[in-house]
Amino acid sequence: MVRIPVLLSRLSDKLALDGEPGLSGVQRMGPSGACNSLDLFGLASEDLQPVPKSQRQWTSWNFVGFWIADACNIATWMIASSMIVGGLSWWQAWLAVWVGYGVTAVFIVLTGRIGAVYHVSFPVMGRASFGIWGSLWPVLNRVVMACVWYGVNGYIGGHAVYIMIHAIWTSWDRDKIPNTFGSGTTTADFVSYFIFWFCSLPALWFPVYKIRHLFTLKAYIVPPAAIAYLIWVAVRAGGIGPVVARPGRLHGSALAWAFIKGVMSCVANFSTVIINDSDFTRFARKPRDALWSQLLGLPLAFAATSLVGILVSSASEVIYGEPVWDPLRLLERLVQGASAGERFGVFLIAFAFSLAQLGTNIAANSVSAGTDMTALVPRYINIRRGSYICAAVGLSICPWVLLKNSDTFLTYLSAYAIFFSAMAGIITTDYYIVRRGYLNVPELYSARKSGPYYYTFGVHWRAYVAYIAGILINIVGFAGQVGATVPIGAKYLFNLHFFGGFIVSSMVYWLLCTVSPIPETRTQWSEVLESDAESDLPTVTRSSSDDKGGISVWEKGA
C-alpha cells in the first residue's frame, strides 16, 4: 500500500515548476541548497529573474496606452464622482484630480525607474531595502491587496454585465428574481459577477509582455463610449450649462479639507501600484521609455477620465436632484422607460465598461499578484498560476461590502494607503539617497549570510523600524476615521496619510542608515547600465560585495 507521504511527495513533484538551468541550489531553492521544505522559498525562479532582452518590448507608446487603458475604469470614475458627493464643484474636483495624479506620477516614476534600469520586479528590488527574507512581508501585503482589488473590480465589472443583460432582457431584474443571498448583494448581481469573473479567466493565460495589445484595444474602445455617455447625460440634463453652473456646497476650512481629501484619494488609489510599478517597467526597452510616458501620460489620462466622471455625476444632480457617484447606477437608471434603441446604447456603454474593468483587473491586480506570488512560493507558482489564484481569492471575498457608499470606499482607500506609503518611502530613499542608484543584482538572488542584502537573519531591521514609524504616524487618525474618539489634530494629520507615512519612513530610514551604515552603498550616482549581452541571471565581475572599486558589468550567468 502506498503511504500518504509518498503520494504527497509525488503530487508535490507534479505541481513543481521546472528548474532553471544554470541556477545554484541557493538561488533555486533557498539557503540550504537542498531539496527540502525550503524549496518553497526560492530566490530565482524564471519569473523572478531579470527580464531577458527578447521580452523587453514595451515602448513609450505602450506605457501611454497602458495608462490610458488603466485610467478608463469605473473606480477612477467613482473617486472623482465621490468628490462631487462630498460637496466640491466640478472645477474644484477636477483641480484636485490634477494635483493628486500629478503627484502620483512622480512617485510612480521614482519606483518604476528601478525596474526599467535593472529589469527586476518588485519582489526582487524589495530585497535590497527590506532584506532577502524580510522582503516577503511587503510582497505578501501587495498580494493580499491585489486579490482584494481583483474582487472589487470584478464585482464592478459584474454590475456592467448585469446592465448589459438587463438592457436586452428587462426581466433580468434584481427586484424580480428571487434573492438567495443576505444583505449586500442579490442573486442577479452575484450571477452577473460570476459571468464577468468566468469570462476573464482566458485573459489571464497570456504572458505580461504580450498583454499590451489588450490595453491598446481598451484605449480605443472605452474613451469613445465614456464620451458618448457624457453627451447622453448632458442632453438629459438640458445641456452642459446647468452642469458647470452648479456651485460647490462647501466654504472655508471645510472646502480646504475636502479638497485635500480629494487629492489624497487619488494618491491612495495608486498606493499599491506605486510600490510595484517595476513589475511593468522591467519590460521597457530602455529606461527613458518608462519616464516621460508615465510622468505626463498618467495625469493626463486620469484627468480626462475623471473629468467625464465629474461632469456625469454633476449632471445626475441636475436630473435627479442628487449626485449619483456610481456611473453604473446612473446608467441603470437610464434603462428605465428607455426605447429599444436607447437600451442598445446602454448595452454598448456597459460592454465598454466591462472591458475597462477587465483590462484594469489584469494590469493592476492579477499580474501584480502573480508576479509577487512567485517570490512567496516560486517552486510551485509562476505568474500565470498566481493570476488564477488571485482570481479565485477575488471571487471568494465579499467586495460589495466595500462599495456600499462613497464614504466606505474612500475609507478603504485610506486604510491600506498608510501601509504602502511607508514601504514606498523606504524603497525610494534606499535606492536614490542611500545607494545612489546602485544595486548588485546577483546578490539579490543570493541567501549567503555574508551577502550585502542578508542583513540580520535575512531581515533588514532598519527598514522595519522605519516601516513601523511610518504606520504609527497615521494609525491614531485612522482610528478616528472608523469611529473612535481621537484628538482633532490626529484626524487632520490623517488627511495627509500618504505623505505622512512616506516622509516619516524616509527620514527614519535615512537616519538609521547614516548612524549604522549598510553595505553596497555609493557616494555618487552609480546606476549600472547593461551591455548588449543578454542574460537571464546576470552576474558581476567582482567577487567581493564590498569592493567599491570594482566595475560591474552584465554578462552571461555561470
Distance between CA atoms of 234 and 228, rounded to whole angstroms?
A: 10
CB atoms within 10 A of CB 231: 11
Summarised one tens digit per residue, pLDDT across range 429-482 is 999 999 999 999 999 998 889 999 999 999 999 999 999 999 999 888 888 777
Q: How far, in Å, are 8, 10, 14, 543, 549 from residue 2 at the CA level?
A: 10, 11, 17, 48, 59
Say how many Å lie between the first and final Cα of the chain, rounded: 44
pLDDT of residue 70: 81
In Å, how far from its chain's centre is CA 462?
26
Helices (H), 59-211: 60-71, 74-85, 90-118, 122-130, 136-168, 187-200
Question: Residue 179 and residue 270: Cα distance in Å, rounded?
Answer: 35
Q: Are 314 and 84 in contact (CB under 8 A)?
A: yes
Q: What is the C-alpha separation between 79 and 286, in angstroms, rounded?
A: 33
Residues 6+ away with beta carbon under 8 Å from 379: 16, 17, 29, 39, 40, 42, 45
Q: What are the phi and psi torsion angles at 456 (to 5°)?
A: -110, 105
Q: What letter would DSSP give residue 459?
A: B
How far does CA 8 lie from the centroid of its chain?
35
Strand partners, 58: 284
CATH level 2 (architecture), domain 62-527: Orthogonal Bundle (1.10)
Task: Name every residue whose Cβ is closer than 8 Å to that of residue 84 and which is 6 or more positions away in sequence.
Answer: 90, 93, 310, 313, 314, 317, 323, 325
Give the span between the Cα atoms of 300 and 294, in whole angstroms: 10
Residue 401, phi then psi, degrees to nearest 5: -65, -35
For the residues of 371-389, what is the DSSP string, one character each? HHHHHHSTTT--HHHHHHH
Confidence (pLDDT) at 27: 43
At a CB cut-off of 8 Å and minimum separation 6, what does 286 contact?
116
Asked if residues 461 and 455 have their Cβ atoms less than 8 Å apart, the reply is yes
Determine phi and psi for 66, rounding to 5 degrees. Answer: -60, -45
For 5, 298, 376, the CA distances from 137, given in Å and listed in that order, are: 30, 28, 9
Q: Give pLDDT tens digits for 354-365.
A: 998 888 888 778
- Which one, of 323, 497, 532, lies nearest residue 425 by Cα? 497
pLDDT tens-digit readout, 115-142: 999 999 999 999 999 999 999 999 998 8
What per-residue confidence (pLDDT) applies to 26? 41
- The SS3 of residue 533 is coil
Give residue 536's pLDDT: 44
> Which residue positions in the chain have pLDDT lower than 50?
1, 20-40, 531-558
Provide the pLDDT for residue 42: 61
